[in-house]
Amino acid sequence: MSFGDPNNPYGPPQQPQPGQPPQQPQQPQQPGYGYPTAPQGQPGYHYPQAPPVPQGYGYGAPMQMPGIVQTARVLLFVLAGFQFLAAVIFGILIGAASSSDALDDSGDTAAGVVALVALLMLALGSLSVFLGVKMRNGRGGIRITTMVYASLMILGSVVNIVRGAMATGAGAFGGVISLAFGITILSAMISGGAWFNRPRY
């Protein structure tokens, strides 16, 4: 007579033989028999966990614009305001001069020069606004253009300071302000290269 497999944990309990102590019922084996199980409360037992992603990198977490780049962006907008204001003032001067009948050939030439300066200020103001807007999402081309623009601004400021020192102090004062703007913007573009070379997702 067969009583089934004695090692079957799901079979009926076996009767102890006379003179033997009673056996404890065997517990059914858990899944993963023969392999070590991970201790509870310790994730990543079998595989090392990836290091945490630093703030400002990775998908969905754009890097914050550095403070020096934000300062340069604000200065570009302020500079554009001054340039637009200068264009308006030069335009008013041209209108006042053209309404006068006392203009001779030299007056016409001066009015033409003032008109060119007004157009130049208008173009530079538009360029300043464009660079300031594109600085948020721009790449290396915006950075290089801004560096060239700031370098030309510094050069023009030095010329204005020299000429203003020879003539009146007003020109020198304006040149100092423009020089400070140019140096700050150029320094921001040099030190803020990581912002323009950051990965885009």
- pLDDT tens-digit profile of 123-138? 999 999 999 999 988 7
Q: How far apart are CA 44 and CA 67, in angstroms?
A: 39
pLDDT confidence of residue 57? 47
- pLDDT-derived band at 176 (thresholds 50, 70, 90) equals confident
pLDDT confidence of residue 53? 52
Mean pLDDT of 89-95: 85
Is residue 59 within 8 Å of residue 201, measured between CB atoms? yes
Please report the sign of the dihedral spanned by the C-alpha atoms of residue 158, residue 163, residue 166, residue 171: negative
Q: pTM of the predicted model, to two decimals?
A: 0.63
Is residue 106 within 8 Å of residue 152, measured between CB atoms? no
Residue 69 has pLDDT above 60, yes or no: yes
- pLDDT tens-digit profile of 11-32? 666 666 666 666 665 555 555 5
